[in-house]
Amino acid sequence: MPVLFRAGFAGLRQEIAEMRGTNVWTFVMYGLLFDMVNNLWRPFSVKFLERLGGTEFEISLLSALPGLVAALVLLPGAIIFRKFTNKKRATAVFILISRAALLAIAFVPVFPQELQPILFVVLVAIMNFPDSLSQTSLQSLLGDVFGGATRGQAIAVRTKFGQAIIPVVTISAGFAITFIPQTDAQRIFLYQMFFVMAFLLGLVEVWIFNQLKVPGYVGQGTDSESAINHLATIKGIFSDKRFRGFFVPAIVFAFTWQAGWPLANIHQAITLGATELWFAIFALVSGLSAFASGVFWQRLLRKRGNNVTFIVAAALLAANMFIFPLVPNVQIMTVVSSIAGFSAIGINTALLNGVLEATPDENRLMYLAFYNTAMNISLFLAPFFAVMLLTLVGNSNAMFIVGGMRAAATVFIWVAYRILKKEEA
């Protein structure tokens, strides 16, 4: 075995040994279960919807409606969350409800054929209600559990290990869907089994999450809090320069990032005719690339900080959107997926660590609810914007336009970073 690989494996073993029994270890294990649950079905959700009879419009709804649901519930949900005396327990309950929704989705093929596509889209959207609340609360808990430098590294390590398990789950599911069923009916039945398996893994996910040790419950509210206090908190969010300095460029970029998702899905599923196996191969290559790039993003985050990490990842995602329309077949798309995986881990790390850096300990849950509400409004609007572009100029030209928007958003991130740095000097 080459020295480089021996050193890499030795470093990985040492990293695992150091984490065992710590909150970082529990967070990573929870993250692995979270990734397994979601990657049993999400990479194939567009193809599943297509097999149920879904159209391009319903594919766009699959991207848009979850954002609308989350946008409607996050702020009211955060206010309710502040009343819980045990935020971790409440988070676990909402994770469990979200996983129960997967069990409900398993029964979609039982309904009449004409109802199946829209029913699947609606159930995925409804599932985003408990999912968004639990993930927002989890973000708040991370601010309580991990300190500044530790938090960034914990997020990077969790993301890196997640990218190692995602390809294994996805490629296994892709091979199963491709080679086990002999008929479309059998293929749909296998999808149903995947949703049931995701639900069962979700039960283990909740158990692991409950092992997380939270030192107190910072920012907890009581039943006596009034609506006036909540409004004052929201007004304070707008006047917080540090938060605003991250929030505005993050939302601007997020819109351009999310607008590319349905265009890329349509290009892969409809234009290139990718099957479940090819979607699994895309995910495998993307995941391996993301895992290999984990060390790069960890070092960049540690040496240059979150803002530079954000700018580099955003620039790479802008480049992706110019490359995608030029891809002529699924084989070339497999190679391009490695670039997508490399940049995706960077942007996910930068967004999560960035918002936690920008939010104060006091009222962190309300800040995060406001941030995620705005993100989900963007998630709702961006796919419709993408479909409008697709209708006007075609899918390839729409991707070029979105790529230009991402490039402009990247420049805006850099300008906002320079302004904020000058103000803090």
When pLDDT is cut at 50, 70 and 90, the band that residue 108 belongs to is very high
- Which pLDDT value is given to residue 149? 62
When pLDDT is cut at 50, 70 and 90, the band that residue 132 belongs to is confident
Domains of the chain plus CATH, in order, are 20-209+225-424 (1.20.1250.20)
- Which pLDDT value is given to residue 193? 95
Quick one: what percent of the chain has pLDDT higher than 70?
89
Residue type, 163: Q
> What are the C-alpha distances in Å from 279 to residues 45, 61, 170?
10, 20, 8
- Which pLDDT value is given to residue 398? 94
pLDDT, average across residues 124-140? 87
- Which pLDDT value is given to residue 19? 65
Q: What is the per-residue pLDDT across 67-90, written as a single tens digit (0 to 9) for each? A: 888 888 887 877 777 777 788 888
Range with lowest mean pLDDT among 17-21, 235-239, 292-296: 17-21
When pLDDT is cut at 50, 70 and 90, the band that residue 146 belongs to is confident
CA 327 vs. chain centroid, Å, equals: 25
Q: What is the per-residue pLDDT across 331-361, written as a single tens digit (0 to 9) for each? A: 999 888 888 888 888 888 888 888 888 888 7
Of 409, 383, 352, whose CA–CA distance to 136 is shortest? Answer: 352
When pLDDT is cut at 50, 70 and 90, the band that residue 362 belongs to is confident
Judged against a pLDDT cut of 80, whether residue 225 lies above it is answered with: no
| More confidently predicted of 277 and 49 | 49
Judged against a pLDDT cut of 50, whether residue 1 lies above it is answered with: no
- Which pLDDT value is given to residue 194? 95
When pLDDT is cut at 50, 70 and 90, the band that residue 17 belongs to is low
Q: Average pLDDT over the chain, rounded to whole?
A: 83
Report whether 366 contacts 82 (CB < 8 A): yes
- Which pLDDT value is given to residue 307? 85
Report whether 215 contacts 145 (CB < 8 A): yes
Judged against a pLDDT cut of 90, whether residue 281 lies above it is answered with: no
3-state secondary structure 126-179: HHHHHHHHHHHHHHHHHHHHCCHHHHHHHHHHHHHHHHHHHHHHHHHHHHHHHH
3-state secondary structure the chain: CCHHHHHHHHHHHHHHHHHCCCHHHHHHHHHHHHHHHHHCCHHHHHHHHHHCCCCHHHHHHHHHHHHHHHHHHHHHHHHHHCCCCCHHHHHHHHHHHHHHHHHHHCCHHHCCCCCHHHHHHHHHHHHHHHHHHHHHHHHHHHHHHCCHHHHHHHHHHHHHHHHHHHHHHHHHHHHHHHHCCCCHHHHHHHHHHHHHHHHHHHHHHHHHHCCCCCCCCCCCCCCCCCHHHHHHHHHHHHHCHHHHHHHHHHHHHHHHHHHHHHHHHHHHHHHCCCCHHHHHHHHHHHHHHHHHHHHHHHHHHHHHCHHHHHHHHHHHHHHHHHHHHHCCCHHHHHHHHHHHHHHHHHHHHHHHHHHHHHCCCCCHHHHHHHHHHHHHHHHHHHHHHHHHHHHHHCHHHHHHHHHHHHHHHHHHHHHHHHHHHHHHC
Judged against a pLDDT cut of 60, whether residue 291 lies above it is answered with: yes
Residues 250, 253: Cα–Cα separation, whole Å:
5
| More confidently predicted of 233 and 368 | 368
Judged against a pLDDT cut of 90, whether residue 110 lies above it is answered with: yes
